[in-house]
Amino acid sequence: MNIKDFFAGLLFIGVAGYFTYELVTDMSLLFKDATTVWQYFVAFFRVALIIFLFNLGLTFIKKFFGGHSQQKS
């Protein structure tokens, strides 16, 4: 593919890394006595977003290197 795929992949992995950093630094705020269901939902959403962005980045990088599955019949 083209070089845009590679840099888009790096961008998405970088954004996922940033969200991972923010999640880990604020983790101590999550575990308090008055933790609400909303805080657990936000934490779950952050983890899901990190996984999605990381997979999207890997997909773009794989696309750049021409990694497509070859199925033999």
In the chain, where the domains are located: 3-64
Give the residue ranges of DSSP H helices in 1-36.
Answer: 3-25, 27-30
Which tokens in the block code for residue 3?
């070089």
Handedness of CA 48, 59, 10, 5 (dihedral sign): negative
Identify whether the C-beta of residue 14 lies closer than 8 Å to the C-beta of residue 54. Answer: no
- What's the mean pLDDT when you consider all of the chain? 80
Res 44: pLDDT: 86
More confident residue, 51 or 33: 51
Kindly report the number of other CB atoms within 10 A of residue 45's CB atom. 10
Quick: pLDDT tens for 21-50.
887 887 776 666 666 787 778 878 888 988
- Once rounded to an integer, what is the mean pLDDT over residues 67-72? 55
Query: In this model, does residue 1 exceed pLDDT 70?
Result: no
